[in-house]
Amino acid sequence: MAEQLGFLTLLPPVIAIVLAIATRQVFISLFVGIFLGYVILSGGNVWIGFLDTLQGLVDVFADAGNTRTIMFCALVGALIVFMQRSGGVNGFIEAIDRRLVKYERRKDGSSRTVVQLLAWATGTVVFVESSISVLTVGTLYRPIFDKLGLSREKLAYIADSSSAPSSILIPFNGWGAFIMTLLATEGFANPFGTMLRALGYNFYAFAALFLVPVVVLTGIEWGPMKKAERRAREGKVLNEGATPVVDESLTSVEAKEGVQPKAINMIVPIVVMVVCMPFMLAYTGWADARELLGGDAGAGAMLFQSIGSGSGSTAVLTAVSISILVSIAIYKAQGIFGIRESVDLVLKGIAGLIPLALLMLLAFAIGALCKQLETGIYVSELARGWLSPGLVPFLVFVVTCFIAFSTGTSWGTFAIMIPIAVPMAREMDANVLMAIAAVLGGGVFGDHCSPISDTTILSSLASATDHIDHVKTQLPYAGLAGGIAAALYLILGFV
């Protein structure tokens, strides 16, 4: 197929990339790319290409794993609404706030360091969803940063750097489900195990996440951030002429009137979901593990193998469903919501994440299309003559960073690049796990520092800082983390 179509196999993903960068409309760009691909497969017949495009979108649901993953991401919206409407998020914020009072009163300078580290730790712990993470950190720590003379740009940087990196490094969430399904589409028999092994090569996520405590503990600052911190110590939390983003009503749901904020209403749903995921992985993979290892294997070996062999999509869908049911039960027991109101909130949450479900639908469709076109194989054959296999992870990372930064979406970038990077690495005998990690790290780079990324915008919003000031102060740190990652891919690619 790749030899017959030649460079035409490149057009669908390339056109999708170019349109996404030019228009900032990822949905339209992916659809146009899919449509163009099916027109090419039909020999240039536009009508047949259109019909095949619709069928290709329908065929996404023929794969049960795709369907379960899309359902999971929609249901996560219900969980997010539950945690906010029940007062769980407010309760969590108040619980942390009470523990910060003693640090606010200190005059020895340690309070500034401790508060910054606590903000970073909070963002890392709330890994279930990157938006919840940045909103929690910004809302919770903004008043304290103002009191201690810490800039809001610094708060936005900490919130941003502890959200997407932790969400992808602790993948018991929508990020993990999405990535596992993309890997399953590429033929990996154990997508969960593959994802975990690849995470060890996700140098950008590690560098971005752990650069924060290094900066806080050493006090080393440079570029626009240094000026912002000097200004904040003089009592000016915002830059001259800054326009802070403060309309939180666009991204948060108010707690129900009269409800007492309780951190448990946020903690319990998250804990239930996180605990259920590995349990269901082990449950769904137990039979395969027994067949592979035999009846004499020890419990530890069986557990490890079963988790690796389990169905990631089944695990995440079951986990979020159980979490929602438990949430309904505890909220009903407290008299917060009745059954009818709970159902309404579930539907509201699902509606809020319909765009994400649509993105996943298009992502799975273009992934399947690139497989039919053998795009990755064609790219590898094209590059084999002049490109060393050791350069594959480095180039994949650089290209992915550019796409993600330009489009502002990590998930859309994953959808475009994984179907290209995986076959390319396989055909060129490069390190496939490192290539996967390069895509994931490059996608996080875009989510972390692109001025049009939703997480970057939310970080500015939650921290009540000027969005452009946040981007300017963060870019040098993100650039350093990206440079470290690129250098490691370049070095280790040849090892």
- For tokens 């020895």, the residue is 108
Instruction: Dig out the tokens for 315 from the structure.
Output: 């695990």
Task: Give 481's Cβ-side CA count (13 Å radius).
Answer: 27
Residue 196 CB: number of other CB atoms within 10 A?
A: 16
Report pLDDT digits (tens) over 432-470. 999 999 999 998 887 787 776 767 777 777 777 877 788
Question: Is the distance from CB of 130 to CB of 174 less than 8 angstroms?
Answer: no
For the chain, first and last CA: distance in Å?
33
Q: Predicted confidence band at 483 (pLDDT cuts at 50, 70, 90)?
A: very high
Mean pLDDT within 80-89? 82
The pLDDT score that the predictor gives to residue 150 is 85
User: Which alpha helices (H) appear in 234-263, and where do they start and end?
Assistant: none
Stretch among 149-158, 217-226, 365-374, 446-455 having the lowest mean pLDDT: 446-455
Q: What is the DSSP string of 387-418?
A: --GGGHHHHHHHHHHHHHHHH--HHHHHHHHH
Least confident of 123-127, 317-321, 389-393: 123-127
Q: Which of 190-199, 278-287, 391-400, 401-410 has the lowest mean pLDDT?
A: 401-410
What number is the average pLDDT over the span 356-375? 76
| CA dihedral sign, ordered 395, 396, 401, 402 | positive
Share of the chain above pLDDT 70, in %: 82
Looking at the predicted structure, is the pLDDT value of residue 201 above 80?
Answer: yes
| Residue whose tokens read 């003379």 | 149
Q: In this model, does residue 211 exceed pLDDT 80?
A: yes
The arithmetic mean of pLDDT across residues 417-421, rounded, is 86
Is 13 within 8 Å of 370 (Cβ atoms)? yes
Rounded to a whole number, what is the largest CA-CA distance in the chain? 74
Closest CA to 424 of 415, 414, 432: 432
Q: Which residue has the higher pLDDT, 213 or 374?
A: 213
| pLDDT confidence bin for 137, thresholds 50/70/90 | confident
The rounded percent of the chain whose pLDDT value lies above 90 is 15
Both tokens of 346, joined, read 């579930």
Residue 348: count other Cβ atoms within 10 Å of its Cβ.
Answer: 15
**Highest-confidence segment of 9-18, 264-273, 402-411:** 264-273
417 has pLDDT over 60: yes
Given this model, what pLDDT does residue 248 score?
41
Q: How far apart are CA 291 and CA 133, in angstroms?
A: 41
Take residue 118 and report the two structure tokens written for it: 């606590």
Mean pLDDT score, 83-95? 79
Cβ neighbors of 298 (< 8 A, separation 6 or more) are none
390 compared with 310, residue with greater pLDDT:
390
Question: Among 22-36, 54-68, 133-147, where is mean pLDDT lowest?
Answer: 133-147
**Which one is predicted more confidently, 292 or 398?**
398
CB 421 within 8 A of CB 435: yes
Task: Name the nearest CA neighbour of 186 among 366, 453, 46, 17.
Answer: 366
What is residue 438's predicted lDDT score, i.e. its pLDDT? 94
Q: What is the pLDDT of residues 233-274, one digit of tens each?
A: 887 877 776 666 544 433 456 778 778 888 888 888 878 877
Segment 210-234 shows an average pLDDT of 87
CA dist 50 → 27, 47, 152, 354, 362 (Å): 16, 5, 49, 23, 15
pLDDT of residue 108: 53
Between CA 24 and CA 408 the distance in angstroms is 8
